[in-house]
Chain A
Amino acid sequence: MSSEPLRKDEIQGQIVHVYDGIEEADNALPHWWLATFFGAILFAVFYWMFHQSFAVADYPHEAYTKARLAAMEKGGPVTDEDLIALSEDVPMVASGKAIFMKECTKCHGTKAEGKEGPNLTDEFWIHGGAPSEIFKTISDGTPKGMPNWGPKMGKGATKQVAAYVLTLRNTNVAGKAPQGDKWVAPTE
């Protein structure tokens, strides 16, 4: 920093320091910049108080729990009758088949004849053969490797796939050997 009197620049105004030939002016801070500076600090204080001090708004985990509870309330339980009705509904089955072809053939084969997963065309079922049990297996998955498709596809699509699977029952495509217990439709 030199000790000689410092010049005044036409644009930048009075020079206050010089270091290695670099001049330094001392202009006032732009108002809009100050507004963002103080604005962000004020926002920070309010946000903290809003969430942390007074817990007015929900944190992500709280908001999520509430949303889950609300979703569980929606729609009644899935019954055997519903699904049997659906399995006779051609557009519904077609839609279920489309999903099956896209998501399920990897493990169950293109004809549902079974690969890594069991053959779905015989009368034997590992996790129960009642329509609602099949829906449950698709929806919740199994510990052995069946993913829980319910949350992924939603209740509607899961119902459609279950409907399609019901149409495959006892078509006996040659494939994987039967697994599980024989299921017989209850007689009324």
Chain B
Amino acid sequence: MSESQKTTIVYNDKITRQFIAASVVFGIVGMLVGAWAALQLAFWPANITEYFSFGRIRPLHTNAVIFAFVGNMIFAGVYYSTQRLLKVRLPSDLLGAIHFWGWQLIIVAAAITLPLGITQSKEYAELEWPIDIAIAGIWLVFAYNFFWMLKRRNEKQLYVALWFYIASIVTVTVLHVVNSMAIPVGLFKSYSVFGGVQDALVQWWYGHNAVAFFLTTPVLGIMYYFIPKVSNRPVFSYRLSIIHFWALVFIYIWAGPHHLLNTALPDWAQTLGMIFSLMLWAPSWGGMLNGLLTLRGAWDQLRTDPILKFFAAGVTFYGMATFEGPLLSIKAVSSLAHYTDWIIGHVHAGALGWNGFMAAGMFYWLVPRLYGTKLYNKEAANLHFYIGTFGILLYVVSMWVAGITQGLMWRAELPEGGLQYPNFLETLLELRLMYWMRLVGGTLYLCGFILMAWNLIMTAKSGKAVDGTTEVATVGLPPEKNRKSWKELIIAQPMQVSVVVLLIAAAAGFTTSLASSAMLVTFVVAAVLIIVFQSLKEGRKGPSWHSIIEGRAAFFTVLVVVAVLIGGVAEIVPSIIAGPSAMRSTTNVPYTALELEGRDVYLAEGCYNCHSQMIRPFTWEVARYGAPSTPEESVFDHPFQWGSKRTGPDLAREGPIKSAAWHYEHMLDPRASSKGSNMPPYPHLAKKTIDFSKTEGKMRGMRFVGVPYTALEVQAAEVSANEQAMTIVQELKETANVDIAPNTKLVALIAYLKRLGNPPIVEVASNETASEEPTTEETK
């Protein structure tokens, strides 16, 4: 081994430099758009034209900061650290370039389509199907680059950072593909294959795990690489890495339903969502501990080194957000916090504190090294840290105050019954000051970020791009002596125990008794514990089972996939199986052609960003909005529109309450009927028209995903839409003396809004529908 037959490897660091530049640019853009959205909430005239109204700006903001800012930051960190941890150069510069430029093109496509109202209207998955396909393709290029490096690695064992990268790459693939499944009905329009409760479950399984496997696990990997590098201190605990890694990837995937507590989601799924969220607390803090305790012996550096300040604060914010998360997942806490700004505050503690600060720390450390120079201005970096931290605190505190205030006002009941604040606007106007304070906090944070951009540019200018190198004794891994076959690894004790326990648990799950479902959870939890303990215990005699699989990249990856899939399958498959029968047995009636078009206007304008359609079973909520929402009411909703935030009131039972004339006036000038409202005006809806000849295709698409339109209804779409539109036009003429064209978007939207909570009464449903659809006997 000591032969001087050494080979020098030059890393591809160009790709890291590119991704850092893109991350900084899109970080500024994304946060600027965020500040704009914050301004719109405090000051409605900031809604400029239909393209930049809040309903379209908000998805632009979330997509930009998640996928453009953090996405590019992750890729920078992953390419830099993976090449070094595996002592291998990125195998194909071309595929690296395709990844980089492909991703930037996707971002540009998002920035163009979202303001145009081209959206699937599923949160953080708004992009329409052609872009979704591009995302899947580019993501696979990334995966290919990564796994190709794993295959050609010159370091046998995989460091914990790489475990997290593996988990992120495979899980995001699964999440994106499943949640984006849709039937296209045009080049820029599709309907989710999932509807109602099913779609709610799939969407939040995705939404929550986008946070988990896009914003958290890759950044944990980055933490595991950069914190010990920067502080030059040993990582605190290898065994903590093992436990918190497996616990995190296994438990995280189950936690999605905590976004749907107290809704029409089946109770068992809500309960699973809540208890797995609570169990997530310790594994998350395991990551925080391993980050912070690595700094033992380096605390003095924190005084002088801005980079470590960012990392220490970032990890601390991670700890804060992952404590707040389980807290908010308790059903009682959720009843107060859900739909309020508290959730916005929670998200930003994570996004600004954890993602933003980890990114800043990484960039300040990497850029000088990538350009062979020193950081241009250390004081500016320190200043960035202080104004950034102050900005986060202002932001988070104002959102706590706003969220809790509004939550309490919504639920305030008078002793003799009834609401203390029956007018929704009263509860919104109370928050105005907090909305301005949030804007100040966010803007401060953005200023710090721009300061960083300047500092990084000056640093890069003061040096010259250099690529890192390393020397390896031999290229490629030497053949192993006594290599254990994968069969041996599978039948090893930790696997035996976990498989047996999981089988028992699954068997218990398929019996109908409730007690056996309790066994299910008990056994699943026991399985996790036993796996963990086994992997630790074996360490005493020779290499432990876990350290063996750390050297077996493919085997390790398969295990991660299995761990991640269990939760998703257990929660989602039952509702998918139940879906078709729910559609058949419902007494609900699909939307008319015009209502469907109106609903598409609702989606395109992003109404779901501020209005929920899900009334929870609380007396104060029923007093305000009407009877609790049922799963049947949204059974034909592809995608579902339950919403997650109430900047405006719930609309689930809006239909019977307001007249067409009221809606007309309200859409043109929301403040005419609702003084003080911050809703954007929608005058363009009264001018822009819908081509009803395309409605038939849309209904066909809906039929394809299972909505029981009859062939007749589909064929008559255009006629029916026109007829219904004329009745609304006439009503508007009579009641408000308004002249409006029947094919305008506003007429369709009014038809949809009038339908909410007001389904037509079905006469005899049984025989009629059967005769429309050819039965199996007839086709034979």
B414 lies within 8 A of A157 (CB): yes
CB-defined contacts of A74 to chain B, threshold 8 Å: 417
Complex-state Cα separation, A143 to B656, whole angstroms: 6
Task: Return chain B residues, CB-CB under 8 Å to A3.
Answer: 1
B355 CB → nearest A CB, Å: 22
Whether B517 is near chain A, meaning CB under 8 Å from some CB there, is: yes
The chain B residue with its CB closest to the CB of A156 is B416
A48–B268 Cα distance when bound, in Å, is 9
- Complex CA gap A17/B155 in Å reads 12
Do B417 and A22 touch (CB < 8 A)?
no
The answer to whether A33 touches B282, judged by C-beta atoms less than 8 angstroms apart, is: yes
10 residue pairs of the A-B complex, CB under 8 angstroms, read: A19-B155, A24-B160, A26-B238, A26-B239, A29-B243, A37-B282, A49-B518, A106-B673, A145-B662, A155-B416
0/1 interface trace, chain B 532-548, chain A, CB 8 Å (1 if under) = 00000000000000000
A152 to B653: give the CA distance in the assembly, Å: 14
For B159, the chain A residues whose CB sits under 8 A away are 17, 19-20, 22, 24
A76 interfacial by beta-carbon distance below 8 Å? no
> CA of A53 to CA of B293 in the docked complex: distance in angstroms?
41
Are B279's CB and A53's CB within 8 A?
no
User: Is B464 close to A, CB under 8 A?
Assistant: no
A-B contact count (CB 8 A): 202
Task: Give the residues from 149 to 180 in chain A that come closer than 8 angstroms, CB to CB, to chain B.
Answer: 149-158
Bound together, the chains give a CA A49 to CA B81 distance in angstroms of: 45
Q: Which 5 residue pairs are nearest across A and B when measured between Cβ atoms? A: A154-B418, A64-B617, A44-B275, A37-B282, A53-B518
Check A17 against B238 for contact (C-beta < 8 Å): yes
Instruction: Determine the residue in chain B with the shortest Cβ distance to A49.
Output: B518
Additional A-B contact list (11), CB under 8 Å, known A9-B234, A47-B271, A48-B517: A9-B233, A11-B297, A19-B85, A20-B87, A40-B326, A44-B279, A47-B275, A52-B514, A64-B617, A148-B626, A154-B416
Interface-facing stretch out of B30-38, B283-291, B401-409, B698-706: B283-291
Asked whether any CB of chain A lies closer than 8 Å to the CB of B720, the reply is: no
CB closest residue in chain B, given A41: B525
Pick the contact of A152 from B84, B87, B522, B624 — CB < 8 Å?
A: B624
Chain B residues numbered 603-617 whose CB sits less than 8 Å from any CB in chain A? 616-617
- Is A25 on the interface with B (CB-CB < 8 A)? yes
Bound-state Cα–Cα, A60 to B274, Å = 14
Chain B residue nearest to A151 in the complex (CB):
B623
B237 and A71 form a contact (CB under 8 A)? no
Query: Smallest CB-CB separation from B517: which chain A residue?
Result: A52
Q: Give the CA-CA distance A16 to B518 in the complex, in Å.
A: 40
**For residue A103, which residues in chain B have a CB less than 8 angstroms away from its CB?**
422-423
Known A44-B521, A60-B617, A116-B662; judge A51-B237 contact (CB<8 A). no
Quick one: which of A43-78 are within 8 Å of B by CB?
43-45, 47-49, 51-55, 59-61, 63-65, 67-68, 71, 74
Q: Which residue of B lies closest to A2 (CB)?
A: B155
A41 to chain B, nearest CB (A): 5
Q: How far is the CA of A54 from the CA of B240 in the complex (A)?
A: 35
Bound CA span A10–B156, Å: 28
Q: Please tell me which one of the listed residues A11, A22, A63, A156 contacts residue B414 in the complex, with CB atoms under 8 A apart.
A: A156
* Closest-CB distance, B480 to chain A (whole angstroms): 14
Chain A's closest residue to B736 (CB) is A116
- CB-nearest residue of chain A to B156: A1
Q: Is the CB of B518 within 8 A of A24?
A: no
Cross-interface CB contact of B275 among A10, A27, A48, cutoff 8 Å? A48
Residues of B with C-beta under 8 A to A151: 417-418, 622-624
User: Which among A27, A40, A43, A60 is the interface contact of B262 at CB below 8 angstroms?
Assistant: A60
How far is A60 from B263 in the complex, measured between Cα atoms in Å?
9
Q: Is the interface of B mostly helix, strand, loop or mixed?
A: helix
Q: Which B residues are within 8 Å of any A CB, using their own CB? A: 1, 81, 84-85, 87, 155-157, 159-160, 225, 228-229, 233-241, 243, 247, 262, 267-268, 271-272, 274-276, 278-279, 281-283, 285-286, 289, 293-294, 296-297, 326, 331, 335, 413-414, 416-419, 422-423, 514-515, 517-518, 521-522, 525, 529, 616-619, 622-624, 626, 628, 656-659, 661-662, 673, 735
Shortest Cβ gap from A27 to chain B (Å): 4
* Chain B positions within 8 Å of A37 at CB level: 243, 247, 282-283, 286
Q: Which residues of chain B are within 8 angstroms of A150 by Cβ–Cβ distance?
A: 418
Closest to A63 in B: B617
A residues in contact (CB < 8 Å) with B? 1, 3, 9-12, 15-17, 19-30, 33, 36-37, 40-41, 43-45, 47-49, 51-55, 59-61, 63-65, 67-68, 71, 74, 102-103, 106, 116, 141, 143-145, 147-158
Contact A12 B156 (CB under 8 A): no
Residues of A within 8 Å of B515, CB to CB, are: 53-54
User: Hey, which chain A residues are within 8 Å of B293, CB to CB?
Assistant: 27
Kindly list chain A residues whose C-beta atoms are within 8 Å of the C-beta of B656. Answer: 141, 143
Most buried by B among A20, A64, A156: A20
Give Cα distance in the complex from A19 to B224, angstroms.
11
- Tell me how far the C-beta of A149 lies from the nearest C-beta in chain B, rounded to whole angstroms: 8
B-chain residues with CB within 8 Å of residue A52 when the two chains form the complex? 267-268, 271, 514, 517-518
Taking CB atoms, residues of chain A closer than 8 Å to B247 are: 37
Which listed residue, B278, B417, B514, touches A53 by the CB 8 Å rule? B514
Q: How far is the CA of A155 from the CA of B417 in the complex (A)?
A: 7
B235 touches A21 (CB 8 A): no
Residue of B nearest to A14 (CB): B234
B85 touches A20 (CB 8 A): yes
Among B1, B234, B268, B286, contact of A33 (Cβ-Cβ < 8 Å): B286
Residues of A within 8 A of B243 (CB): 29, 37
Residues of B within 8 A of A68 (CB): 619, 622
A45 to B228, CA, bound (A): 37
A155–B85 alpha-carbon span in the complex (Å): 70
Output the least CB separation between A95 and chain B (Å): 12
Q: Which chain A residue has the least Cβ–Cβ distance from B656?
A: A143
Q: Are A55 and B514 in contact (CB under 8 A)?
A: yes
Q: Choose from B297, B419, B618 the contact partner of A60 (Cβ within 8 Å).
A: B618
B727 to chain A, nearest CB (A): 15
Nearest chain A residue, comparing its CB with the CB of B417: A154
Cα separation A56 to B326 with both chains bound (whole Å) = 23
A64 touches B235 (CB 8 A): no
On chain A, the residues within 8 Å of B285 by CB distance are 33, 36
Contacts of A143 in B (CB 8 A): 656
Choose among A47, A55, A74, A103 the residue with the greatest number of B CB atoms under 10 Å from its CB. A47
Q: Give the chain A neighbours of B673 by CB distance below 8 A.
A: 106
With both beta carbons as reference points, the residue of chain B lying nearest to A25 in the complex is identified as B234
Neighbouring A residues of B418 by C-beta, 8 Å: 150-158
Q: Return the contact of B296 from the options A12, A106, A147, A155 (Cβ within 8 A).
A: A12
Residue of B nearest to A102 (CB): B423
Residue of A nearest to B224 (CB): A22
Tell me whether A152 and B239 are in contact in the complex, defined as CB-CB below 8 angstroms, given that A20-B85, A22-B159 are known contacts.
no
For A144, the chain B residues whose CB sits under 8 A away are 659
Contact partner of A64 among B240, B289, B618, CB < 8 A?
B618
Is B518's CB under 8 angstroms from A145's CB? no
User: What chain A residues lie within 8 Å of B225 (beta carbons)?
Assistant: 22
For residue B422, give the distance in angstroms from its CB to the closest CB of chain A: 4
B residues in contact with A155, CB < 8 Å: 416-418
Nearest Cβ distance between residue A146 and chain B, in whole angstroms? Answer: 9
CA distance A9 to B525 in the complex (A): 35
Q: Which residues of A contact B236 (CB under 8 A)?
A: 12, 25, 27
Q: Is the CB of A12 within 8 A of B234?
A: yes
CB-defined contacts of B326 to chain A, threshold 8 Å: 40
